[in-house]
């Protein structure tokens, strides 16, 4: 490298450091500071990647070990509350945005990708991170002090919102490891059918069926369903449906629900209708994911369902994710050899950045209760 090239490199690095430092200062974050939420960098390459590629560049640089923050969740919380992401418009993500807008990334063929990439990491891995029932969705912490209590409270809340009674037949769209189906069968005497696109989850479901519980796991895409149920629940699956399929999803629920039945939709959501899925989350955690807005859900349900109740307890996801992170850190030594250091940093980044997103109220957790014809006399929310 010539002296002029060295001078240009140093000048660029100095300019990047200054620009990034000014941005971060708006969130009370210091570059190479000593507070737990301050960002310590090992190369200005981190700043270049973050400013040109947004969270994709920032996340990959973290996975590569190029920067640290002792309290990663607090770092992201401050970024989000200061709206810094809105001030950085990454030029390299134009194609990602167009692809998400124009392509059906959640077609029947592509829908199986998230199962293979995320949910099939291993049942033992998720058993170590989650609660005793393996519930991979937001807990309800109103009267809970532990993860197990919060998840059981959430499952019971759903059962009561649906007014489940013994002998009812319930459909669970995106049933996960069957925590809702097992709980509802044990405590409310119902029969459940669940569909999943994860082979690991379907295999785990066989153990529940061996216990004699009236639950059926199907390795099946939701669009193939065509039978009638007394109630329908979908907990943490709608985020994988995609805006191009929202209407088709609601049509499936409508044709499968008894005329006087209730449908509970539990989903993460965003505050804006037109947005692009986070590129880092899309590449490394949830391929083809797409968070809905209230407007998009309303459009999809129009003429098919009446919204009886809408409940937001998104702040509870912060506590849930932090509990998962604590379990993950505690159990990591048994998975270190299998997954390696880069996976460890990726998973920490995922759990802690998402916790910060809910803490900052940037994204939400909604439970919708929907009916086909309206509850006569009005629906009464239980709590």
Q: 32 in the Ramachandran plot: left (φ > 0), alpha (ψ -120 to 50) or beta?
A: left
354 is catalytic: yes
In Å, how far are 113, 176, 189, 218 from 105, measured between CA atoms? 10, 21, 38, 23
> Across the chain, which distance is largest between two alpha carbons, in Å?
81
As beta bridge partners, residue 365 has 268
In Å, how far are 161, 205, 262, 323 from 178, measured between CA atoms? 19, 7, 20, 20
- Show which residues are catalytic: 354
């Amino acid at each position: 490298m010539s002296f002029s090239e060295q001078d240009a490199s140093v000048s660029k690095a100095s300019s990047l450091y200054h620009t990034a430092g000014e941005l971060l200062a708006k969130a009370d974050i210091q570059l190479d500071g000593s507070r737990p939420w301050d960002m310590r960098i090992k190369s200005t390459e981190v700043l270049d990647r973050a400013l040109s590629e947004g969270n994709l560049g920032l996340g990959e640089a973290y996975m590569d070990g190029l920067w640290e923050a002792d309290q990663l969740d607090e770092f992201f919380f401050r970024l989000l509350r200061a709206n810094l992401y809105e001030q950085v418009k990454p030029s390299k993500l134009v194609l990602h945005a167009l692809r998400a807008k124009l392509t059906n990334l959640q077609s029947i063929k592509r829908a199986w990708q998230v199962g293979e990439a995320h949910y099939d990491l291993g049942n033992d891995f998720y058993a170590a991170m989650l609660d005793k029932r393996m519930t991979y969705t937001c807990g309800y912490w109103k009267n809970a002090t532990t993860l197990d209590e919060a998840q059981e409270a959430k499952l019971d809340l759903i059962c009561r919102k649906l007014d489940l009674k013994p002998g009812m037949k319930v459909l669970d769209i995106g049933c996960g490891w069957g925590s809702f189906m097992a709980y509802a069968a044990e405590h409310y005497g119902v029969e459940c059918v669940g569909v999943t696109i994860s082979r690991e989850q379907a295999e785990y479901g066989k153990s529940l069926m061996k216990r004699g519980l009236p639950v059926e796991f199907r390795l099946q895409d939701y669009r193939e369903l065509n039978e009638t149920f007394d109630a329908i629940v979908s907990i943490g699956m709608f985020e994988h449906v995609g805006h191009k399929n929202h209407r088709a999803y609601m049509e499936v629920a409508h044709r499968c629900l008894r005329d006087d039945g209730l449908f509970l939709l539990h989903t993460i959501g965003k505050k804006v209708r037109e947005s692009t899925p986070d590129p880092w989350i899309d590449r490394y955690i949830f391929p083809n994911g797409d968070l809905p807005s209230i407007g998009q859900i309303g459009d999809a349900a129009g003429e098919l369902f009446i919204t009886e109740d809408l409940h937001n307890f998104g702040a509870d996801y912060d506590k849930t994710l932090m509990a998962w992170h604590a379990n993950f850190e505690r159990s990591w030594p048994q998975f270190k050899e299998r997954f390696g250091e880069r996976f460890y940093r990726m998973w920490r980044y995922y759990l802690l950045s998402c916790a910060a997103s809910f803490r900052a109220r940037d994204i939400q957790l909604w439970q919708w209760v929907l009916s086909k014809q309206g509850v006569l006399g009005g629906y009464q929310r239980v709590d």
